[in-house]
Amino acid sequence: MYGLVNKAIRDMVCEKFGEDTWETIRQKAEVEVDTFIGMEAYPDDITHRLVKAASEVLAMPPPEILKAFGEYWVIYTAEEGYGEMMDMAGDNLPDFLQNLDNLHARVGVSFPQLKPPSFECTDVAEESMNLHYRSSRQGLAPMVFGLVGGLGKRFNVEVDITQLRSREEGAEHDEFSIKYKPE
Ligand code: 1DX
């Protein structure tokens, strides 16, 4: 994954728990790099090791780490150089989710090593939709809870998200039911 992801994990840990905790996590993960370059591609393994080590050091299950990270990602990318891109993707939750594949396609033009997931929206209604998440990567579905929750905060809507189908449990892809209403 692009270094931006590992940089975001580092900054989240440092912000919430301090530099020393990050150093402990980095060492436990056996990650040599400390200063990730956002626009450089790194092996996925580094990210997975960081999540695993963070889970052990912070005594939080990996899905909780991923959920917290998803929420952080939405704020982080908006502040770390991708604010305009995020603004362009929509000014409300359903529009943003329906534009995510376009957003990734645009990033992918400049960064060909991007392996963009796909977010397909079906059954879109006034206050609900189903979200189909397809990714070349495994185990990141818990992050979707945080990503959508982060978008809820961004757009000031109360979000209720439940998982309808899980790849972990044999489904072809992950599917979520999302309900939203203005706060
Ligand atoms: F609901 O399943 C809201 O490296 C959402 O694979 C979901 O393959 C917002 F470094 C620049 C760069 C680069 C910008 F410069 C990424 F190249 C992308 C910024 C998306 C903001 C996907 C990150 C693939 C890296 C899913 C979890 C991983 C998508 C991560 C969240 C807006 C982003 O993001 C999976 C990779 C960006 C960039 C956004 C993602 C890769 C998302 C969201 N994804 C790289």
Specify whether the CB–CB gap between 183 and 159 falls below 8 A: no
Q: What residue type is 72 in one-letter code?
A: Y
DSSP E strands: which ranges in 3-76? none
Residue 14 has a CB neighbour count (10 Å cut-off) of: 14
Residue 147: HSE in the Cβ half-sphere, 13 Å Cα cutoff:
16
* pTM of full prediction above 0.95: yes
CATH pick for 90-182 out of 3.40.50.720, 3.40.50.970, 3.40.50.300, 3.90.1520.10: 3.90.1520.10
Helices (H), 59-182: 62-79, 83-88, 93-110, 141-154
Which pLDDT score is estimated for 183?
A: 84
To test ligand 1's pocket by mutation, which of 72, 92, 104 has the most ligand atoms within 8 angstroms of CB?
A: 104
Which pLDDT score is estimated for 182?
A: 87
Q: With both helix axes pointing from N to C terminus, report the angle between 62-79 and 44-57 in degrees, rounded to the nearest 10.
A: 120
Which residue's C-alpha comes closest to atom 33 of ligand 1? 116
To test ligand 1's pocket by mutation, which of 1, 2, 87, 97 has the most ligand atoms within 8 angstroms of CB?
A: 2
17 lines ligand 1 (CB under 6 A): no
> Mind listing the pLDDT tens digit of every residue in the chain (183 residues)?
999 999 999 999 999 999 999 999 999 999 999 899 999 999 999 999 999 999 999 999 999 999 999 999 999 999 999 999 999 999 999 999 999 999 999 999 999 999 999 999 999 999 999 999 999 999 999 999 999 999 999 999 999 999 999 999 999 999 999 999 988
Cα separation of 180 and 178, whole Å? 7
CA of 4 to the centre of ligand 1 (A): 9
